[in-house]
Each structure stands twice: as structure tokens, then as C-alpha cells.
């Protein structure tokens, strides 16, 4: 059952990636920025620009450019960066490690903060605590990453000096960017966990658990939480896309040498192969995260079968 399910999901993944590559390529083709002019510099003659354009194959019609890219992609070739003149795959692999590290911490904080605040709000529902937490989560979901990152950087790193200003390497470096991602992303989860918990708290089996004489904590963690978390798990997969959007900004603000920063720099200089490469990697991450999330659900709730698409 499960291998067939995974194979089918991976089949869909190929189609998704094909679509993502096409749309990204098309959008980049249509934007008014001209990579050749960017490369040639301000003072370059029209002839130099045309030369560079021909060199990069940018003078070809769109379908030829895309087809060319696709053929290379199938062979595992993501192309070369226009600016850095190195393989995109090499650029990506050198940045993948730091990004994974930041993502792991970020998602960890996001879930830790989101789930605990959601639980607290559900237990204290319709009290001042609940209303305060929900207001807070609303601020969280609606704050733009670039403002929040800079605010946190100024407040906690510059003024209070609790964290380093930026950089990479030590554990202390990852904390502030990860907390920023976690705090901003947690609003989503706390709201979801809250409503899901409230629903489960009303269920008959919670009354049964209490009638057995179990302590409140035991009822909460053994009976309420596992059932309340079930609808939240698939959301983690869906949230990855939004999370990566925030990652690009946070990495750039904190000078984190990851894929987000790479993407940010590439966008500024219209480095098309790098942009498409990073987009493809993100799409792969989203697809895998969703698959893992969907595989996890039946482990928590045995009633759910994988096949129910």
C-alpha cells in the first residue's frame, strides 16, 4: 500500500516541478529587467550588450530558451550563474547546509511556540489570557518579515546585546533569525491548535479519560493533544512555502549564508539560472515536506488511511 502511494505522489511531484519551472522561466522572461544590460554595466555600448545577450542565449525565442533549460535540467544541469560564473548546483549545495539548519530551528520554534500558546489559549478559552494570546498571534501573522527582522536585530542585538549582530557558525548565531521566523510563523499554528483543541476538549472520550481519574496534565498530553494535532500536521507541509518566503528576507537581514540570501542577491541582479535553481529546490522541499506530513498523519490517527486523496 505505502510504496504505491509514495510512488504515485512522486509522480505528481515531477508534474509539479515541471509546472514550477515553466512558470518561473516565463515570469523571468517577461519582466522588463535585462540580465545582459546588468552584466555589461552602465557604460557598455549596445554592441557589447548584444554580444553578451547572444552569448547567454538570451536572444533566442522563449520556447527555445526554456526547452534548452529543460533538456539540461533532465541531465541534472541547472546551468551556470551569469554573475559568479560557477555552476548553480555548486552554489546551491554550498548554501544548502546553513539553510537547512536555520529551517530546522525556525520550524522547531514555530511549532513549539505555536502549539504551546495554542494549548494555553484553548485551556484558558474566553479569558483575558486567551484574548491576549490571540491578539498576539494576529500581530505575528500580519507582521512583514523585513520589518520584524530589522526591529528584532535593532532591539535584541544592537540595543540589548543579547545576540550577535549576524554571521554564521556558532549556535548563538542561529538563535535570533530562527526565533524571528518562529515567532512570526507561530501565529498560524497557535490559532489552529486552539480551535482544534477546543473541539477535542468537548469530545466524549475526554470525559471518559477524566472519569478514569487521570490527572489534568495526563488528559491534556495523552488524550487531547494527539487528537488535536492531527489536523495541524498537514498544515506544516502547506506552510513550508510561506516559511521559505520569510526565509529569503530573514537570511538577507541577518547575513545568513543560505539559499535565501543567494536568491535575494540573484533577484537583485537578474541572475536567471540561480533564481530558477533556487525556486526549483524550494519546490522540491515543499513537495517532500507535504509528502512527509501526509505520511505522518496515519501514524498519529490510525483511522486515517493514506489512500484517501
Neighbours of 22 (CB within 10 A): 13
83 binds other proteins (CB under 8 A): no
Q: CA dist 181 to 52, 170, 240, 297, Å?
A: 40, 18, 12, 25
Query: Looking at 207, 245, 268, 292, which residue binds other proteins (CB under 8 A)?
Result: 207
Query: Looking at 55, 72, 86, 215, which residue binds other proteins (CB under 8 A)?
Result: 215
Q: How far is the CB of 271 from other proteins (least distance, A)?
A: 44
211 binds other proteins (CB under 8 A): yes
Give the integer Cα–Cα distance in Å for 140 and 61: 45
Nearer to other proteins, 2 or 100 (CB): 2
221 binds other proteins (CB under 8 A): no
203 binds other proteins (CB under 8 A): yes
Task: For residue 283, give the C-alpha cell.
Answer: 519546490
How many residues of this chain interact with other proteins, rule: CB under 8 A? 26
Q: What mask, x for binding other proteins by CB under 8 A, covers residues 272 to 301? A: ----------------------------xx
Q: Which DSSP category does 32 fall into?
A: S
Kindly give the residue spans of alpha helices, DSSP state H, lying in the chain. Answer: 2-30, 35-40, 46-56, 62-74, 88-123, 128-142, 145-152, 171-201, 204-211, 216-218, 225-229, 233-254, 259-268, 272-300
3-class DSSP state of 66: helix
Nearer to other proteins, 228 or 263 (CB): 228
Give the integer Cα–Cα distance in Å for 287 and 306: 16
210 binds other proteins (CB under 8 A): yes
Query: Looking at 227, 252, 261, 282, which residue binds other proteins (CB under 8 A)?
Result: 227
Q: Which one of the spans 56-64, 113-121, 128-136, 206-214 is the region binding other proteins (CB under 8 A)?
A: 206-214
Give the integer Cα–Cα distance in Å for 83 and 39: 7
How many Å separate Cα 98 from the centre of its chain? 14
Query: Looking at 4, 31, 158, 292, which residue binds other proteins (CB under 8 A)?
Result: 4
Query: Looking at 11, 144, 169, 226, which residue binds other proteins (CB under 8 A)?
Result: 226
214 binds other proteins (CB under 8 A): yes
157 binds other proteins (CB under 8 A): no
Q: Which one of the spans 47-55, 57-65, 190-198, 200-208 is the region binding other proteins (CB under 8 A)?
A: 200-208
Give the integer Cα–Cα distance in Å for 140 and 185: 7
Give the integer Cα–Cα distance in Å for 122 and 227: 14
Q: Which one of the spans 59-67, 177-185, 220-228, 247-255 is the region binding other proteins (CB under 8 A)?
A: 220-228
Buried b (16+ CB within 10 A) or exposed e, 181-203: bbbbbbbbbbbbbbbbbbebbee
Binding residues for other proteins (CB under 8 A): 1, 4, 203-205, 207-216, 218, 222-223, 226-227, 230, 300-303, 307
Amino acid at each position: 500500500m505505502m510504496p504505491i502511494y509514495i510512488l504515485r505522489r512522486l509522480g505528481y511531484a515531477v508534474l509539479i516541478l515541471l509546472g514550477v519551472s515553466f512558470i518561473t522561466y516565463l515570469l523571468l522572461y517577461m519582466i522588463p529587467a535585462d540580465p545582459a544590460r546588468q552584466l555589461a554595466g552602465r557604460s557598455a555600448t549596445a554592441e557589447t550588450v548584444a554580444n553578451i545577450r547572444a552569448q547567454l542565449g538570451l536572444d533566442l525565442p522563449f520556447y527555445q530558451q526554456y526547452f534548452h533549460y529543460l533538456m539540461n535540467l533532465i541531465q541534472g544541469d541547472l546551468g551556470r550563474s551569469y554573475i559568479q560564473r560557477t555552476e548553480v548546483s555548486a552554489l546551491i549545495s554550498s548554501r544548502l547546509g546553513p539553510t537547512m539548519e536555520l529551517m530546522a530551528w525556525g520550524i522547531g520554534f514555530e511549532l513549539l511556540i505555536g502549539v504551546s500558546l495554542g494549548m494555553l489559549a484553548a485551556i484558558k478559552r474566553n479569558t483575558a489570557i486567551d484574548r491576549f494570546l490571540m491578539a498576539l498571534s494576529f500581530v505575528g501573522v500580519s507582521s512583514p518579515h523585513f520589518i520584524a527582522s530589522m526591529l528584532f536585530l535593532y532591539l535584541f542585538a544592537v540595543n540589548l546585546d543579547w545576540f550577535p549582530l549576524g554571521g554564521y557558525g556558532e549556535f548563538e548565531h542561529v538563535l535570533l533569525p530562527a526565533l524571528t521566523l518562529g515567532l512570526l510563523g507561530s501565529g498560524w499554528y497557535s490559532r489552529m491548535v486552539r480551535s482544534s483543541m477546543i473541539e477535542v476538549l468537548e469530545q466524549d472520550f475526554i470525559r471518559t479519560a477524566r472519569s478514569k481519574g487521570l490527572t489534568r496534565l495526563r488528559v491534556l498530553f495523552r488524550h487531547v493533544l494527539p487528537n488535536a494535532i492531527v489536523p495541524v500536521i498537514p498544515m506544516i507541509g502547506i506552510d513550508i512555502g510561506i516559511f521559505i518566503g520569510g526565509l529569503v528576507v530573514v537570511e538577507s537581514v541577518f547575513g545568513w549564508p543560505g539559499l535565501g540570501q543567494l536568491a535575494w542577491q540573484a533577484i537583485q541582479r537578474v541572475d536567471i539560472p540561480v533564481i530558477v535553481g533556487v525556486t526549483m529546490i524550494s519546490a522540491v522541499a515543499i513537495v517532500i515536506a507535504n509528502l512527509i506530513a501526509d505520511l505522518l498523519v496515519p501514524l498519529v490517527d490510525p483511522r486515517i488511511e493514506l489512500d484517501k486523496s
